[in-house]
Amino acid sequence: MKRTRGAAVLAAAVLSLLPVTARADTVHPDPQPITGQQIIHDPTVLRLKSGGYVAYSTGGIIGARTSDDRVHWKDAGNAFAEPPAWWYEYNDTGDPWAPDLSYRDGRYWLYYAVSSWGTNHSAIGVATSPSGLPGTWTDHGKVFTSETTDHWNAIDPALIKADGRLWMAFGSYWSGIRMVELDPRTGKALPGAPVHHLATRPDEPYAVEGPAVVKHGRYYYLFASHDACCSGVNSTYKIKVGRSTSVTGPYTDSTGKPLLEGGGDLLLAGHGRYVGTGGQSVFRTQGQDWLAYHYYDAEDAGTPKLGLNRLSWGRDGWPSVR
């Protein structure tokens, strides 16, 4: 995400005290009530094979939260005790962003990004764990990188398997959302793999980022965050979605407008106290899809908190939140 470093994200959000006028909203649902440790940014959530849930996020050395029931959340420290040395190639504090958690081939896979504010000198890394719990991760280094000569930004990873192949969506600002194929054995980008273009905005700064790709029925759905995050109650983040019959696109919204031309159906926007909804991911548990995201709480000094809503699918195949 084109943002300040993770610790600064949380600090800036908490310090943002500008007033917001709350209002009732009949279009966008509130997140489900949760308790305990609610502070989070860019959440990725998964139900563990051992039972219970874990959420990883921007902040700390990939901040961790755990829950037995998806309602009460506890602070579980960080994914790593110390930043891997190579992270310092991309920022001075070894600060990672926007993780993505998945399970395949008997292991948990944690993808994440390291970068600095306002640059696409960035990298996506990967770690694996037998349990998915904090403190059990082994880092395997860089998956994919970008430099200032590239037209994309290698941050905000999101994994999906499609037709027996493994893909990673990524991207923030610059030219928007991209996708590259990974080697399923190593979890890293295939050498020489083409970089596909999935979504962008028509005007600079091309404010679309944080992809999540989900298969439902015969379509692949691309969820992305539009506009500005990381400014507490001044954030304008919102979540939009498009779909395609191919994982690499082209993606269009329900009107047929391509996401490469700024299209996208609005799925969730800020309302009332829930400002700047975005940084989303999708997870499935007990036969139900859920949308996880952060919002800035206008009734708590703009503190970023965890939002969870059920994701439903209409007869026309398009998703909505409940």
Which of 209, 253, 265, 297 is the catalytic position? 209
- Scanning 140-265, the segments in alpha helix (DSSP H) are none
Q: 293 CB contacts (<8 Å, ≥6 apart)? A: 43, 239, 268, 277, 278, 279, 280, 281, 307
> Is 209 among the catalytic positions?
yes
CB-CB contact of 292 with 45 (8 Å): yes
Amino acid at 184: P
Could you give the CA distance from residue 251 to residue 219 in angstroms, rounded to a whole number? 10
Closest Cα to residue 37, out of 64, 73, 4? 73
Could you give the CA distance from residue 58 to residue 278 in angstroms, rounded to a whole number? 13
The two structure tokens encoding residue 124: 């996506």
Radius of gyration of the chain, Cα coordinates, nearest whole angstrom: 18
The two structure tokens encoding residue 299: 């009734």
> Is 42 among the catalytic positions?
yes
Q: Among all residues, which ones are annotated catalytic?
A: 42, 209
